Each structure stands twice: as C-alpha cells, then as structure tokens.
Structure 1
Amino acid sequence: MRKVLLFQWIIIAALLFSCTSNNDDGAPVFPEGSTESVNVWVQDSMRRYYYWADQMPAKPDYHLPVKDFFKSLLSSQDRFSFVVNTEDPSSYPRSIRNMYGFDYTVIQLTNGEVVTVIKLVLKNSPAFNAGLERGMIITKINGKVITAANAESITSSMKEQTVIDLKVGYWKNNTVADEKDITVYYGYSSEQPLLSRIFDKNGKKTGYLYIYDFPDGMTSALNQKFAEFKAAGVQDLILDLRYNYGGSVSSAAALCSLIPSGISVSSPFIIFKGNKNGGEVKRTFAQQIAYDPKSLDFNTLRANAMGLSKVHVLTSNSTASAAEIVINNLKPYLQVIQIGEVTLGKDMAGFIVEDKRKPRKISWQIHPVIYKVFNANGTGEYSKGISPQTNVNEYIELPLRPLGDPDETLISSALTNVYLKSANVQGPQHQVKILYQSDVPGVEGNIW
C-alpha cells in the first residue's frame, strides 16, 4: 500500500512540475521562461502561419530542446524552415559562404581526376582579402586532400572553426600549378555590388547583369543599371542568377518590372497561397514593390524599363527562392531563355515570426515556410527546381573565367544564343561530373 501511494505522489508531482493548466486549445501552460513555455509559443506560431500546419503532430514533446521541438513539427516536405535564438550566435545556420565568403565545387574530370574548384569569392570578404579568386583549385583544406568521399565531412568541420588553412593553385595545361598556402579567417562579408557589362557585336548591344542576391533597398541600384543599358541602346539582356539564393520578393519584383514591355501599375505579379489562416494573396508588380519601404515606386522604375520580348537567365543548383521567382514570374510577360543547370526548387516564401512584446520575453525567432508562390498565370509547384532549355555545365572548361567575361562558359552560351537567335543552342558538353557543392547542402538561413 505504501508503494502504491508513493507511486501516486510521484505522478502528481510530475504533473505539477510539467504544467499548471491548459489553454483553450488544449495546449498546456508552463512557467514563463521555461523551455516548455517557449515550445508552446513556437507551436502556437506555427499553427497560425506554417504552410503545413495541418500536418503538425497533435501531441508533441514539449520537454525537448527548442531546436529539436521545432524540427519535430516540420513536414517531411519542408527543406527550408529553421529557428534561431537571437541571443545565441551558435544557433544560427552556418555555411562556408556566410562564414568565409567563398564557395567551391568538387568535380570529376573526363580522365577520372577529382578537382576542387573555387567558383565564387565575395567582394571584400575574408576569402577575398586573403587572396582567393574564382577559378583557383583547392588541393588541400586543413592539410587534407579533398575527395568525393570526404568533401562533405571536411565542409562540416570548417563550419565549426574560425580559421581555415588552404593550399591552392591555378589550373594550367590540365594540371595544378603555382601552389601556395592561404589562411582564411571567419569574418564579415560586405554587401555585394551589381556587376554589369555591355557586349557589342556587329552593332547589336547585349546587357549583362550579375545579381548576387535580392536585399531590400536595392531598387535604386537596379534602376541606375537599367538607365545605363537604356542610354547605351541595349537590345538584349542576360541576367546572371547562378549563385543567387534569393532574398526580398519586393526587390525581385522591382527587377522584373524593368524588363518586359506591356505591363502597367495593375499588372499581376505574384500569388501567395498559405494555410487556412493565410489564404490566397494576389499582388501586382506595384503592390509587391511597395512592400519595401526603401524602394522606388513602380512608375519611376518603368521610366527606365527596357521593354524586351525575351530575356536570358543563367542558373545553377544554387539559384533559389526570389531568384526563382524572377524566372517563373516573368514567363507570363516575355520569353525566358534559361541557360545552365536546374535551380534549387524553393517555390516558397516566408517572413520572420518573433516575440513583438516590449520588453521581449522570448528570444527565439522562427523562419517558417508560410506560402507557396505562383506567377500571374497561376503556375508554380517547382519544388524539384526549374529546368533550363539549354543545359550547360559551367565546369566543362577550366580554369573558370571571371564573371562578366564574354568567354565564360555560361555567358558565351547565352551570347551565342542571342546572336544566332536560337533558344536551343547547346554549349560544348564534356563528361565533367559534379560530385559535391559547398553551397547546396544546408542552405537554410541563406535563401529568404
């Protein structure tokens, strides 16, 4: 009898410790500031905003650490939602690009040799300041030779460090030459500038614009570039979005407003489809642009619009989110000729969900998928990526040339396309196999 009473008291004590009461919706109430109370807030927020809210578990384990609890709520279809603690820098997603300012790809050449190529170096980043350049070959990272088998584990280990040692060289005569050691420290990368060029052949001018990402407040810079194109008499446009993770949908809408002919202030741009709470939201170009308080207005942008009937867009597996919206949402208004590789496949959008109380009581911040996105014709559902009409592997010719160089593989293919007036021109294709890319795994936190 004494054992039975003791067991009953243990159960009662456990219940008193774990919760004090229940909300109207059945969710338990825990002491303010506890992990469990944060988890209830996470659950309530996700029930309200999350695209797959109807798939969330009815009885999650509130005693899990917040990150683990959050993951337990996610749909198996969700590759992108994440949560961070704003008071704990270690909780933020890490990538080679946002830590050191560069990215690389491991490829296998036709002779079977495995080579690691630096494909991107951000301007004024730690990597840039250390002397890394696009096209360099990495032969060792922290003393280890890179192979297809260890590339992912090496990348993971780099994210846990604040300094990395690289041995790099240049590709010359089908081998690595002039090797040297470079040390790169963890640090900040400044905002990336737009890169533009004007190519002229037989009196026909083609504008080239490389866009690294879509931050808020970029419309003035976009407007200036298109004013330059228009003043120069540019007749065709190549958009280079190959490494663009996305960003602001408003900035993407601003870019799109500068390209086609025949759109007005009332022309539809995007459809957002959410859960039963979010419903369906339709916005015109003008409405979406205006969501950025720093943006120029639609009519100001249209004064420098090129009025094109087609546009060439360069893509890779790293083209995502707002960059994919540019591709998909221009299609109702002009011919989009996509060259490169299939995009990442983030046909979704979201916004930050956080505690707005003053003073704030919860330091966690949720970045959930809230909407699926569609163009003016209602076309979307590209979670497997948007496939190009012209498949071109940018690694078919080494060394990689600088972005903006007319002889660079993807740009050259687009220029051939422009001047031959064909949407089916294939670049020279060799059996170069992509084995690993440092920026494709773990892209959460980079593509909103």
Structure 2
Amino acid sequence: MKKFLKIQIIVLILISIVMISCNRTDDDSPDFPEGSTEYVNLWVQDSMKRYYYWADQMPAKPDYHLPTKDFFKSLLSPQDRFSFIVNTSDSSTYPLSVRTMFGFDYTLLQLPGGEVVTVIKLVLKNSPASNAGLERGVLIKKINGQNITASNAEQLTSAIPSHTVLDLTVGSWVNGSIENEKDIKVYYGYSLSQPLESKIFEKNGKKTGYLYVYDFPDGMVNVLIQKFAEFKSLGIQELILDLRYNYGGSVSSAAALCSLIPSGISANSPFIIYKGNKNGGEVKRTFSEQIAYTSGAPDFSVLQAYSLGLSKVYVLTSGSTASASEIVINNLKPYLQVIQAGDTTLGKDMAGFVIEDKRKPKKITWQIHPVIYKVFNAQGEGNYSSGIAPQLQVNEFKNLPLSPLGDPDEVLLSSVLNTIYSKSIYNGNPQEQPKILYQSDSPAAGLSGLKFK
C-alpha cells in the first residue's frame, strides 16, 4: 500500500511539473484583454496552428493589431484560394456574389465575328432573379445603366455586392442580334433550396437518365433515393450527372450519390482519404462510414437497394464544378468509367469544417472556414488543384440562345446523348466558337467551404 501511495505521489509531482511547463509556455504568448481585436486574433492564430493544412507556413510573429479579416489573410499560404473567415454578428463580412445575392450568373462572350455579348447562364428557382422574370439564355446589355464591355465586366461585377437593387437592360438573341430589349429590376434577397431535376431519354430501346444536381446539402439522401428508385424502376441503362454549376457542400451527400451508381461496391469499400497537417494526420473512410457521418442518414444497405449497378457514368462540368462535385468525379473512378464532358473543373481538392468558439456564452463571434485536408480517392489519386479536365471538351456557349438545362438540344447534354446513341464523339472547332472573356462566378466568389462530413 505504501509503495502504491509513493507511486501516486511521484505521478502527481510529474503532472505538476508538466502543468507548470505548459503555463510557462502560455506566459510566453501575448496576453491581450478579452474582447479586444488582439484577443480575437490570438484565438484565430491558435485555431489555425492546430487545424490549418499549411500551418507550418504561417508567420511566426504576425501583427496582432491588424483588423481580424486582414490578420486572417496574413496567415494564409499563397497556395490557398479557399479559406475565409466571417463574423456571425456582422453580415457584411460574409462572402457575397451575384449568385448568392440575386440568384443568377452570367458570362461575357466574344463571338466568332468579334461581337461581345453577356448571356445569363444560370437562374436559380425561387430566387430574386426568377421572380424578376430572368431566364437562362437572356442577354444583358447594361448593369445599373452601364454597358458591359470586356474592360469593365470585372469591375461591374465586383461592385454588385454594394447594391440591394440591380437595374438591368436585357433582351433576347434573335438571328444574331439582341432584340425585345426591356429594363427590369432585381432585388437583393434569399434563394430557396434548389431541387434535384431529372429526365429520361429513350432511343432505340435504350433509356438514359439525366440528373441535375445544383449542390450537396446535408440531408439530401432521401431525395436521392426517390430519384434513383424512379431510374431503377424504369430500367435506365445510362446515367448523365449534370454538375456544371455545383459548388459542392457535404462530402457525405456526395458519397451517398456515388454509392447509388456503380456495381461491385459494399459498405466497406474505401471511398475517401483525407490528409491533413501533422495534427490532423490521415483519415480514411469507407462509403458506409462517410455516409453515416451525417446524423440521421439511412444505412448503406438501404441505398444499395436502389443502386443502378452501372459500369460507366457521364458527368457534365464547367469551371464552376467544385469541391464535393469534384469528389464525385475523382472518387468514382476506382469503381467505374467516368466520362466527363464540358470544361475543366475549378480544382478544389480540399475539405474542411467550421471552427468557432464553443464556450457558453461565446466570447468570440468570428467563424473560421479553413482548408484542413487534401482529399484523395480509394487509389490515393488526387492533387487536382488545377482542375479535372474532361475527355470531351465542349463549349457550353457555342450555340445562342442557350437552351434550358435538361433540354436534349442543350449543347453539353446533346453532346453526351449523341455519344450514347450514335457513338460519335463531339469534336468542336475552337476557332469557330465563342471565347469566354469573363464569368460572374469566376474567381469563385462566395464559394462555401466543402464540409468534411
């Protein structure tokens, strides 16, 4: 008994030495009054040291007196295009874009004859833009009274977040010119969640399913099950995923989609590898583990009942295809043939989670959205920071006016349907096609962080 008590005393002494050592280290750090900018910045630095993928590149002695947003930027690696920070008590600190504020996006094109036009490529359903009457394919001549040109397009777009109302002059593309011009107002507002849209195409007895996926929110599994139950009951033999405007979202939702497509996978089939800094290490997850990471998600066996068991899938992409949607492309490759059509994706081969003050009550209202992991597929393939290039390079804007998404005559969709049904490969002549001069969502302003879960 005495020997046991002696050992306990020695352990307590050692713990005390460690605690004193830790306190001395803490004393070496700056000491700022609670509530000050410096106090917040020190919390930001400590959080980033622990989680940030490039923590080893952070400056050893940053300027704690900088405003918090500027301080955060001073910590970032030159390789980092995606980390951001917001103050939950100040809406002006949130990333804003034409899409998030007004519910649409547009592209500035130079046509083969030299004319420059601006075409609306995306209008969200139940958005301020759709409520104002905007549609995909409409052309914009003026924004807030100014003609859009190649030289001022970026400036006009960057100024949009400072407006709560957009005055647009728009028109229709008819026989090579803009007609039926009119002035409309689009008011800043909220866009509702976007639905999954599906269609079935059939020719010569072969059925092809088309699924437009705008994003990957948490809890979309049941909606996916509904769509794939329909696909399976109709006996589709080919599948086209339209991810061209999909910025990403939850990795678990992306994993659920992936689990519904190929044959030969099980609950224990590896899905993803996360690689972090020296603190985060490497995390591997199977399909089942990744899907279950979202609370309330159905068991993998439930999803498997609706799997199509395909040997290939077609994916429509653009420069707005990012993060979780890129994971769908990369992480399906070990299990089936992925045929990509459109343009090279954005190149967000990274994931993270939100870091915030968990104390009650909170002492800090800032919220950090850092890059924490690089992501890889089951075969260890990743590193696509320059984007994932398509096998079928197709210019979405080669025919004006733009057809609605899901229309069999729409350029990207028709190129794949032609490949499926006629076996001929699209081979457009880049010299005869419009040149993209500017896009309102490039660089990807307002991209939400890809969610680790």
TM-score range normalised by the length of the shorter chain: over 0.9
1:82 is matched by which residue type in structure 2?
F
- The aligned residue for residue 174 of structure 1 is 176
Counterpart secondary structure, 1:29:
coil
For 1:294 and 1:168, the matched residues in 2 are separated by: 45
For 1:50 and 1:417, the matched residues in 2 are separated by: 43
Q: 1:278 to 1:321 in 2, by over 3 A?
A: same
Instruction: Kindly report which structure 2 residues correspond to 1:34-433, keeping only aligned pairs within 5 A, or say none.
Output: 34-421=36-423, 424-427=425-428, 429=430, 430-433=432-435
For the 8 Å contact 2:394–2:426, the answer to whether it is kept is no
Counterpart secondary structure, 2:26:
coil
For the 8 Å contact 1:95–1:443, the answer to whether it is kept is yes
2:232 is matched by which residue type in structure 1?
K
Cα distance, 1:25 vs. partner? 7.8
Aligned length: 427
Q: 1:222 to 1:134 in 2, by over 3 A?
A: same
- The aligned residue for residue 13 of structure 1 is none
Q: 1:255 to 1:442 in 2, by over 3 A?
A: closer
Cα distance, 1:29 vs. partner? 1.5
Counterpart secondary structure, 1:24:
helix
For 1:332 and 1:131, the matched residues in 2 are separated by: 44
Q: 1:407 to 1:427 in 2, by over 3 A?
A: farther
For 2:24 and 2:414, the matched residues in 1 are separated by: 64
Counterpart secondary structure, 1:84:
strand
RMSD of aligned residue pairs (Cα, Å): 1.3
TM-score normalised to the size of structure 1? 0.94
Q: Deviations over 1:402-444 (max 9, x none)?
A: 000001000000101112346x433565331000000112434
Cα distance, 1:156 vs. partner? 1.1
For 2:159 and 2:267, the matched residues in 1 are separated by: 50
- In the TM superposition, structure 1's runs of 4+ consecutive aligned residues that sit over 6 Å from their partners are none
For 2:396 and 2:24, the matched residues in 1 are separated by: 57
For 1:176 and 1:26, the matched residues in 2 are separated by: 67
Cα distance, 1:162 vs. partner? 0.4
For the 8 Å contact 1:99–1:186, the answer to whether it is kept is yes
Q: 1:359 to 1:50 in 2, by over 3 A?
A: same
For the 8 Å contact 2:126–2:192, the answer to whether it is kept is yes
Counterpart secondary structure, 2:162:
coil
Cα distance, 1:445 vs. partner? 3.8
TM-score normalised to the size of structure 2? 0.93
**Identity score, percent:** 72
For the 8 Å contact 2:352–2:449, the answer to whether it is kept is no
Cα distance, 1:147 vs. partner? 0.5
Counterpart secondary structure, 1:93:
coil
For 1:25 and 1:75, the matched residues in 2 are separated by: 28
Q: 1:245 to 1:306 in 2, by over 3 A?
A: same
